[in-house]
């Protein structure tokens, strides 16, 4: 999950910078200052282009897709200007990206191992939804249990925090999978 962790780290550092230094300064770091005042979804799509450009490995594509799916999900909630998003919304984008990248990596692993799923489409959808809810809850719980926000986390600590979230989430999934 190297590329996904790197993307999440870059995103986490960016979100923390927005909270500490303001949106305009954080966007300038990625040469995206032209997006000051733009809808949040536009900023998130541009960040995906910067943090995980098109044409990389499968893991790069997983990270990119996780960011774009999260941006799309947040875009359906309204097109608020990025500059006006509260820290909780930025944290939600960060956590959504992590959750989706873990979920996609897990499905990629399942597909690569040839695990058989039921032939009933409704049953497969139910399994997928259960797994999605579990991963999303695990990531959110790990973040909440840390007692921190991205705004309060020193920039240098974000990478270690992201690594711990990924490792703990995968360990928990492996443990539960072994018990099933």
Which two three-digit tokens encode residue 125? 């959808």
pLDDT in tens, 52-70: 888 888 888 888 899 899 9
The count of structural domains within the chain is 1
Query: With 80 as the cut, is the pLDDT of residue 19 above it?
Result: yes
CA dihedral 163, 168, 171, 175 (to 10 degrees): -170
Are 97 and 66 in contact by the 8 Å Cβ rule? The answer is yes
- pLDDT tens digits for 98-133? 889 888 887 777 666 655 667 788 877 887 788 788
Confidence of residue 179 (pLDDT cuts 50, 70, 90): very low
pLDDT in tens, 70-106: 988 877 656 788 988 888 888 888 889 888 988 888 7
Q: Report the pLDDT value the prediction gives residue 88, as an integer from 0 to 100.
A: 85
Give the separation between CA 31 and CA 135, rounded to whole angstroms: 33
Q: What distances in angstroms separate CA 141 from CA 34, 138, 144, 151, one per listed residue?
A: 35, 5, 5, 18
Evaluate if residue 172 carries a pLDDT over 80. Answer: no
pLDDT of residue 180: 44
Report whether 74 contacts 47 (CB < 8 A). no
Instruction: Report the distance separating Cα 143 and Cα 94, nearest Å.
Output: 10
Nearest to 105 by CA among 131, 74, 76, 144: 131
Q: Tell me, what's the pLDDT at 115? A: 57
Domain that holds residue 149: 2-179
């Amino acid at each position: 999950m190297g590329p996904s962790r790197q993307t999440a780290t870059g995103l986490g550092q960016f979100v923390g910078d927005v909270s500490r230094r303001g949106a305009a300064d954080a966007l300038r770091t990625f040469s995206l200052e032209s997006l000051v005042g733009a809808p949040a979804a536009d900023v998130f799509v541009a960040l995906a282009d910067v943090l995980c450009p098109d044409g990389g490995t499968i893991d790069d594509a997983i990270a990119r897709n996780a960011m774009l799916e999260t941006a799309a999900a947040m875009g359906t909630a309204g097109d608020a200007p990025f500059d006006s998003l509260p820290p909780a919304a930025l944290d939600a984008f960060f956590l959504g990206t992590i959750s989706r990248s873990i979920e996609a990596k897990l499905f990629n692993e399942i597909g690569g191992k040839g695990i058989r799923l039921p032939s009933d489409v409704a049953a497969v959808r139910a399994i997928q939804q259960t797994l999605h809810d579990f991963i999303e809850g695990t990531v959110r719980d790990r973040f909440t249990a840390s007692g921190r926000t991205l705004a309060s986390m020193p920039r240098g600590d974000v990478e270690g925090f992201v690594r711990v979230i990924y490792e703990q989430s995968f360990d928990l999934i492996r443990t539960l999978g072994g018990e099933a």
